[in-house]
Amino acid sequence: MKSWNWKKILIRTGIFAGVFILAIVLFVVIFIQRTLPETKGEVKLDSLSLEVEVVRDEEGVPHIEADSLEDLYMAQGYVQAQDRLLQMDLSRRQASGELSEIIGPATVEQDKFFRALGLRRAAEASLEEYSEEGKTALEAFADGVNAYIEKADRENRLPPAFTLMQSKPEPWTPVDSLTIGKFMAHDLGGHWEQQAFQYYAMNNFSKEKAEEIMAHYPEVKPAVLDGMSLDISGDFADVPTPHPFNGSNNWVVSGERTESGDPVLADDPHLGIATPSIWYQMKLSSPSHNVSGVIFAGVPGIILGNNDHVAWGVTNVGPDVQQLYLEKRNPENPEQFLYEGEWEDAIIHEEPIKVSGEETIEYEVVETRNGPIINEYTEGAGEGDALSLRWTAHDPSKELEAVLEINQATDWESFEKGLEKFHTPAQNFVFASEDGTIAYKANGKIPIYENPSDSQLPLRGWEEEDQWNGFIPFDELPTVVNPTKGWIATANNKITTEDYPYHITHNWAQPYRYERIAEMLEQDDSISVEDVKQMQMDVKNLQAEEFMSFLLGRVNEEVLNENEKEMIRLMEDWNYEDDKDLPQPLIFHHWLERIEAILYEDIPEDIDSLFHGKEQTTDEIFRMEERGEKSVWMEEAGGSEEVITSSFQSISDRLIEKFGEEPSEWKWGAYHQVEFTHPLSDIAFLDRFYNRKDPLPVSGSSVTVRAAGYDENGNVDHGASWRYIIDTSEMDRANHIVGPGQSERFNSKWYHSQYEDWVEGIYHETNMTQSSGDTLRLTP
């Protein structure tokens, strides 16, 4: 009998397995590599009328030159899809409530919320209002996206993520673009969460506690409206509420105060930090205009930036544009609701939700005269009283048509005229032009409240007197042109004085970023672009400067150990910079978080997620205590000395355990770091492809001009999603940072090409008249 040479067999088997694995790896690499967009050569697009040139500069910014607007927007759609198709598809699905179709049951509750919110229904209604010119632009953009989808699918070059999810992108439509626009209104435009929180506070805490925790306690309202007590605990546990720090900085300086003698403008919108960036930078040229800046992937035009004549930037106004209504349901007919003594039929929207790997969920959205019911997701919902949402973004609006008009503006008058169509989200626009004009407008559709306290709580859906009383006229929105002080700045701060006749909101952002910007602008009468770069990266913490003496004065040092006393000495010597290499910001921010955890421990987790005014409330409690007044929240937690001392001791133990025994060697950046995570990186084996191996330490915080908000693990997930500076003496040049880069493809050279630049504050210059790089010709 023949004997087997097991050693040789094992060696040969190992070699075969190795070759097989190598072949698979090579196949995957080659497959992934060939899905990268074509950025050179020639591609035919049947719908084009004339050739379009696309030059991608060294940062991957496409410069598109076309001979007509229709060809321009078609090419824009094609190019955006090349670099961001996955993001575009996921964005429209999220906003439309269709994620579960490709992701599965994990996103069903989120899909239900967005079906109820009705962003896609609002987008469909808005499209009907667009002019023929606006519809043509939207359709041309969609044609360009679809041309790429069809070509990539035919050539098996769709982004690999679609293969992983076993899906293919559906054809793009104009409604998809408008739905993404409505999603940004959701992300930036409301306060219904605060109303829901305050309703809970009124019905679950004493009058004194509710009064302290609300921006303005509405004294005319009883603790329970008309005998109703709707229990909202648990209703919003799975709702994707906007980030509480969504905001921005912008400022514009007159030529009288700049080095060049012409206006300088800066903007840095603060939104979620992730891969890919929420922004996509482009330069668009046609015979009618030449415009450069950023846009949301999936949308035509340029929403922020400059053309040859004017430049502009925005921050969020944050007005009260959403109103919750308590609804009385007919006990004999759940599809009827009370209004002025009569039962009215609700509108029922059939919204079946497809779920990957499971059966379709039959789902209905109920809409009253006030808006959709938004708190019914659980078993047994739809049987009793409910909450509906009235929101300006539900009304038809033409924001993208406004964008296309302001892209072609030549001065303040034509720019302001374009803003009349920009209703949601309400934004603080700052403006500069080549003729030396600087200007500001708080633009948007803002409801009129006869009694401002009404905007603090849900109102009675069954009473006509609780309806909105129209909207602030466009010509009466807050506006400033060429102020004598020579500059205008906004940072989501209060924008009106007491004599302004209309209510905007009770819930302004903390003032520290604005105060620091103003402080820096007033220090310099000859501001340059380089000065502004340093301002955008400034990390002075004015909140710490205001409250540090108060906090240190309330610490009982007699009970502290030596490490804790060393921490106190460090805080006494702090320069109030949230610098990544300093220990003090690590101590300060953990200290504040622990104080808030103690103060608000009676608030359930799902209700706490609606408490968007928490930081301002804490500031006011500190100010009360500093004035010698007693805060009921502080007193019930044990008094200021007990709360402040025990919280300090608590964080001392945690920080020593994590960062070592020597406080002077701690660093803010050892905790406060950025990674720009990709949504698909939650799948374990994809993390190594989509995410950077080592996060980078970052200076700043949520209260510094260099905004860098973070989660409970110190991961920076919120901040300047785009940084932009332009000196209008050179309208063809602007400075940009789009972190972490232009492409969503992890194997692209532009995937994380601006990662370190974002951390270090290194800008790239975009030239509108000269461009060089990879050149793609799109031909008919």
The answer as to whether 29 is a domain residue is: yes
The answer as to whether 772 is a domain residue is: no
576-632 residue pLDDT tens: 999 999 999 999 999 999 999 999 999 998 888 888 889 999 999 999 999 999 999
Q: Name the active-site residue from 96, 100, 126, 248.
A: 248
Q: Give me Rg for the CA atoms of the chain.
A: 28
Cβ atoms 413, 311 nearer than 8 A: no
Q: Is 206 a catalytic residue?
A: no
The answer as to whether 14 is a domain residue is: yes
The answer as to whether 172 is a domain residue is: no
The answer as to whether 22 is a domain residue is: yes
Q: Can you read off the two tokens belonging to residue 779?
A: 């031909």
Query: Could you count the other beta carbons within 10 Å of the beta carbon of residue 196?
Result: 26
Measured in degrees and rounded to the nearest 5, phi and psi for residue 137 equal -65, -45
**Of 76 and 163, the one with more pLDDT:** 76
Give how far Cα 587 sits from Cα of 221, 569, 590, 719, Å: 41, 12, 5, 21
What's the whole-model pTM score? 0.92
Nearest to 763 by CA among 738, 727, 736: 736
Q: How far apart are CA 578 and CA 560, in angstroms?
A: 25
223-265 residue pLDDT tens: 333 445 566 665 666 667 666 666 799 999 999 999 999 999 9
The answer as to whether 16 is a domain residue is: yes
Alpha helices in 165-314 (DSSP H): 174-188, 192-204, 207-213
Give the domain extent around 18: 8-37
Q: Can you read off the two tokens belonging to residue 4?
A: 């087997």
The answer as to whether 19 is a domain residue is: yes
Number of H helices, E strands in the chain: 23, 30
679-690 residue pLDDT tens: 887 776 777 788
Q: What was the pLDDT predicted at 82? A: 97
Q: What was the pLDDT predicted at 238? A: 65
Q: How far apart are CA 271 and CA 314, in angstroms?
A: 12
Torsion of CA 690, 696, 702, 706, to 10 degrees: -110
345-401 residue pLDDT tens: 999 999 999 999 999 999 999 999 999 999 875 444 445 678 999 999 999 999 999
Q: Give the number of domains in the chain.
A: 1
484-519 residue pLDDT tens: 999 999 999 999 988 999 999 988 899 999 999 999
Q: What was the pLDDT predicted at 379? A: 44
Q: Which three-class secondary structure state does DSSP give residue 44?
A: strand
The answer as to whether 30 is a domain residue is: yes
Residue 320 annotated as binding site: yes
Nearest to 440 by CA among 474, 465, 407, 477: 477
